[in-house]
């Protein structure tokens, strides 16, 4: 019987090369026609602390990290002690037999003990991860050449004396396994189809570059830092200035300044850094300056859980800065969606001359997944740009228009001198509060800016209209947002395989909230279950505020780790076994 998927765990301490093994395996699987989903659970320390890479690969789409492993690659004793019992029956534990041991109690499920004498197989102990990967290649019936190519790419910029010993170590591990152990007969169905291997933060960077982002500013903050890493390497050669700032206040202010000059600009951070940015987010709202802001959520409050995932910043972003101003908030759901949403965010920012905020989280931004080829030729729309002011009337940067969107010029445009002030101002930008506040002008300008929301809502409803996905006559509808999308799809597939009709509903547009569309879809559902990663079910609260729909059945997680699919499935079954909770649905 051929296995549809294979699950691999790599465990050890920070500095042991866990990410190197995981990233190499992900590329190898992808280049042999398989789908991959991987998650790296790591700690907030540079050296030491337990790191646990969890990866599943298969010939069909893979939605979540594995709960058990067919093969555990243990790079220290702690990894054996913590994860050996999670190895499936007939699986294997690969380890350095020179300094680790697998005791009988570790093999409760009949897993094989596969010790590797690293001192005999590699020139340096540090290469134990490469030796183990080579042994894995044989057991999983994967071509060794794929690993050799991955190693050449990983170490290719270094001297040959670094590259070749790693290739030799991989071959030694492969040959040792071939001489001592039997292959598992996984039969994964390899093919020549090749897919991209990405993390979400790389998709943020790639989407920005495709959209002609010209300035990226950031202060490093986990788990948003890898956007900065990606753009530092790839931005300058694609016309993007990348600036590491002294703090998030400067980062946001620089992005607004760049947007004010006409450059497409983006900044990225996590919740703690976003807290510092919020005054300048309001500045962009008052100046009507396009700018894109990415908030990659992690556990809070304060510095909270720096390397763990959560969806706890929803209301923080909704309430960013004082006062009221138009802003667009989007929550992409998959890595592909991150790319296209980021590219479109720049168009929305330009068209509506306002900040566009994108909510991600550690799981979405840092998990590794195979994606189909992306269309880098995205549409670029700069909105109401005036290249030269030829009217005899003075240019009004903040002209009161029916749509609320005013003709925009870049600094230096002939005959278009104007003022851009953070205080309330009139149509020309002249401050109205220096001597005597002008209530009628304030009222006019406030209404002018807020009219943008009407146009944005109509456009977003066309582009991102929320729809039910799955059975039209479902017994249960799973509701979520952001990174829970893959989990919900996995749950829907499992429920349907067991004869339970199910569908899912994903909310992507957080502001302006598409209340009518959401109400129309959910009012037809028989039973709603909200699934999200926070304590107070923030999306359920927002949903009730905007539509009156009260979802009583909720599955919440807030310990920093992603949802465990089997646990979510059990909770859904418990909910279905109970009498239906009466949902309060607003009249349409």
- CATH code, 87: 3.40.920.10
| 528-532: strand order across its sheet | 468-470, 502-506, 476-480, 528-532, 553-556
Q: Model confidence at 90, in pLDDT bands (50, 70, 90)? A: confident
* Count of CB atoms situated within 10 Å of the CB of 571: 18
Query: What pLDDT score does 123 carry?
Result: 87
In a domain, 377, yes or no: no
Question: Helices (H), strands (E): how many in the chain?
Answer: 18, 20
- Which of 164, 194, 224 is the last residue before a domain boundary? 194
Query: What pLDDT score does 45 carry?
Result: 80
Q: Model confidence at 585, in pLDDT bands (50, 70, 90)? A: low
Query: What pLDDT score does 65 carry?
Result: 95
One domain for residues 449 and 481: no
Which residue pairs, CB below 8 angstroms and at least 24 apart, start in 261-265? 261/410, 261/411, 262/410, 262/411, 263/214, 263/215, 264/211, 264/212, 264/213, 264/214, 264/215, 264/290, 264/292, 264/346, 264/349, 264/350, 265/213, 265/214, 265/215, 265/216, 265/217, 265/290, 265/291, 265/292
Whole-number Å distance between alpha carbons of 231 and 243: 10
Name the least confident of 146-150, 256-260, 404-408, 435-439: 435-439
Confidence check: pLDDT of 1 > 60: no
Q: Model confidence at 111, in pLDDT bands (50, 70, 90)? A: confident
One domain for residues 504 and 572: yes
What rounded mean pLDDT belongs to the chain? 94
Confidence check: pLDDT of 582 > 70: no
SS3 state at 481: coil
pLDDT digits 0-9 by tens, 443-463: 999 999 999 999 999 999 999
- pTM here is 0.95
One domain for residues 446 and 472: no
Percentages (nearest 5) of helix, strand, coil residues in the chain: 40, 20, 40
Report the number of distinct structural domains present in the chain.
Answer: 4
One domain for residues 335 and 448: no
One domain for residues 57 and 172: yes
Non-local CB neighbours of 159 within 8 Å, separated by 6+ positions: none
Q: Model confidence at 154, in pLDDT bands (50, 70, 90)? A: confident
Which stretches of 338-483 are assigned E, i.e. beta strand?
355-361, 368-371, 468-470, 476-480
Confidence check: pLDDT of 565 > 70: yes
pLDDT digits 0-9 by tens, 194-249: 889 999 999 999 999 999 999 999 999 999 999 999 999 999 999 999 999 999 99
Q: 359: which strand partners?
A: 295
The secondary structure of residue 99, as a DSSP letter, is: T
In a domain, 245, yes or no: yes
Query: What pLDDT score does 189 carry?
Result: 73
In a domain, 587, yes or no: no
Query: What pLDDT score does 325 carry?
Result: 98
One domain for residues 169 and 20: yes
* Count of CB atoms situated within 10 Å of the CB of 431: 14
One domain for residues 214 and 352: yes
In a domain, 301, yes or no: yes
One domain for residues 543 and 487: yes
pLDDT digits 0-9 by tens, 62-83: 999 999 999 999 999 999 999 9
- Which of 140, 161, 194 is the last residue before a domain boundary? 194
In a domain, 111, yes or no: yes
Average pLDDT over residues 295-316: 97
Query: What pLDDT score does 46 carry?
Result: 75
One domain for residues 18 and 100: yes
* φ, ψ at 346 (rounded to 5°): -65, -40
- CATH code, 564: 3.40.50.920
Q: At what angle do helices 225-234 and 200-210 cross, to 10 degrees?
A: 50
- CATH code, 297: 3.40.50.970
pLDDT digits 0-9 by tens, 487-546: 999 999 999 999 999 999 999 999 999 999 999 999 999 999 999 999 999 999 999 999
Confidence check: pLDDT of 2 > 50: no
Number of residues assigned to the chain: 588
One domain for residues 171 and 229: no
Least Cα distance to 172 among 119, 225, 216, 231 occurs for: 119
Contact yes or no for 264/239 (Cβ under 8 A)? no
pLDDT digits 0-9 by tens, 475-487: 999 999 999 999 9
Query: What pLDDT score does 584 carry?
Result: 53
In a domain, 584, yes or no: no
Query: What pLDDT score does 383 carry?
Result: 95
- Which of 431, 447, 464 is the last residue before a domain boundary? 464
Segments forming the whole domain that contains residue 230:
199-371
Q: 305: which strand partners?
A: 299
In a domain, 509, yes or no: yes
Residue 223: is the preceding peptide bond cis (ω within 30°)?
A: yes
Higher local confidence (pLDDT), 328 or 32: 328
One domain for residues 14 and 157: yes
Share of the chain above pLDDT 70, in %: 98
In a domain, 360, yes or no: yes
One domain for residues 59 and 176: yes
């Amino acid at each position: 019987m051929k296995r549809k998927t294979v699950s691999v765990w790599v465990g050890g301490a920070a500095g042991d090369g866990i990410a190197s093994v995981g990233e190499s395996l992900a590329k190898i699987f992808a280049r042999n026609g398989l789908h991959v989903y991987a998650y790296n659970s790591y700690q907030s320390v540079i050296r030491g602390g337990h790191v646990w890479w969890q990866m599943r690969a298969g010939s069909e789409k893979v939605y979540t990290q594995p709960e058990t492993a067919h093969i555990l690659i243990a790079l220290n004793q702690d990894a054996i002690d913590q994860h050996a019992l999670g190895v499936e029956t007939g699986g294997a534990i690969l380890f350095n037999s020179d300094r680790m041991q697998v005791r009988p109690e570790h093999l409760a499920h009949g897993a094989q003990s596969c010790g590797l004498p690293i001192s005999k197989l590699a020139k340096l102990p540090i290469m134990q991860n490469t030796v183990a990967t080579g042994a894995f290649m044989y057991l999983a019936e994967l071509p060794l050449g794929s690993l050799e190519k991955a190693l050449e790419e990983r170490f290719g910029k270094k001297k040959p004396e670094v590259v070749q010993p790693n290739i030799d170590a991989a071959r030694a591990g492969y040959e040792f396994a071939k001489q001592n152990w039997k292959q598992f007969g996984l039969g994964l169905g390899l093919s020549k189809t090749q897919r991209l291997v990405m993390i979400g933060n790389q998709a943020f960077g790639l989407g920005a570059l495709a959209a002609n982002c010209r300035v990226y500013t950031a202060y490093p903050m986990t788990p948003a830092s890898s956007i900065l890493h990606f753009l530092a390497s790839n931005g300058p050669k694609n016309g993007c200035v990348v600036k590491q700032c002294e703090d998030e206040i400067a980062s946001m202010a620089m992005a607004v300044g760049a947007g004010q000059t006409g450059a497409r600009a983006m900044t990225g951070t996590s919740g703690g850094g976003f807290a510092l940015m919020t005054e300048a987010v309001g500045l962009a709202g008052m100046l009507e300056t396009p700018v894109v802001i990415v908030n990659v959520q992690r556990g809070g409050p304060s510095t909270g859980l720096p390397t763990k995932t959560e969806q706890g910043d929803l209301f923080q972003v909704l309430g960013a800065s004082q006062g009221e101003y138009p802003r667009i908030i989007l929550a992409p759901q998959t890595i592909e969606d991150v790319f296209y949403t980021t590219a479109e965010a720049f168009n929305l920012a330009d068209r509506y001359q306002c900040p566009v905020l994108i909510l991600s989280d550690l799981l979405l931004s840092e998990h590794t997944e195979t994606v189909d080829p992306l269309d880098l030729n995205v549409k670029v729309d700069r909105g109401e740009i005036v290249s030269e002011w030829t009217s005899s009337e003075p240019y009004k940067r903040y002209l009161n228009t029916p749509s609320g969107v005013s003709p925009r010029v870049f600094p230096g445009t002939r005959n278009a001198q104007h003022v851009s002030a953070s205080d309330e101002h009139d149509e020309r930008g002249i401050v109205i509060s220096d001597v005597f506040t002008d209530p009628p002008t304030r009222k006019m300008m406030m209404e002018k800016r807020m009219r943008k929301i009407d146009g944005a809502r109509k456009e977003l409803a066309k582009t991102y209209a929320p729809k039910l996905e799955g059975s039209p006559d479902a017994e249960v509808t799973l509701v979520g947002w952001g990174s829970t999308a893959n989990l919900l799809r996995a749950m829907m597939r499992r429920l349907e395989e067991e004869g339970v009709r199910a569908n899912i509903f994903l909310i992507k547009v957080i502001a302006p909230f598409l209340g009518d569309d959401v109400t129309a879809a959910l009012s037809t559902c028989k039973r709603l279950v909200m699934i999200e990663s926070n304590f107070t079910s923030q999306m359920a609260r927002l949903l009730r505020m905007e539509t009156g729909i009260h979802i009583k059945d909720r599955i919440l997680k807030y310990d920093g780790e992603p949802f465990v699919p089997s646990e979510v499935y059990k909770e859904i079954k418990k909910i279905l076994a109970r009498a239906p909770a009466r949902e309060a649905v607003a009249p349409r």
